[in-house]
Amino acid sequence: MKVILISPTKKAKQRTKNRIREHGPQFEFVNETGTRWLLRAGEWFGWLPRNEFHVECMGKTFVKKVRG
């Protein structure tokens, strides 16, 4: 599995912010379906909407932010 580092977007819902704060910011990427990513962190395992978080790092490679 690929390890990623994420942060919430400005428009992220409270649920997404809470999951990142409680279980992250480092997660294992498991799968994606449409607009959601299945992530794992320790015992926590769940879906987060992709448009509600930034991928800051994948493995050891930082991702260039695209501003829209």
Q: Give the residue ranges of the chain where pLDDT is below 50.
A: 68
Is residue 1 within 8 Å of residue 28, measured between CB atoms? yes
Q: What is the pLDDT of residue 57?
A: 85
- Residues 6 or more apart in contact with residue 47 via CB below 8 angstroms: 33, 36, 37, 38, 39
Q: Could you tell me if residue 39 is inside a domain?
A: no
Q: Could you tell me if residue 53 is inside a domain?
A: yes
pTM reported for the whole predicted model: 0.83
What residue numbers bound the domain in which 11 lies? 1-30+49-68
Q: In angstroms, rounded to a whole number, what is the distance separating the alpha carbons of residues 28 and 14? A: 21
Is residue 65 within 8 Å of residue 54, measured between CB atoms? yes
Q: What is the pLDDT of residues 7-24, one digit of tens each?
A: 999 999 999 999 999 999
CA 57 to chain centre: 10
How many domains does the chain fold into?
1
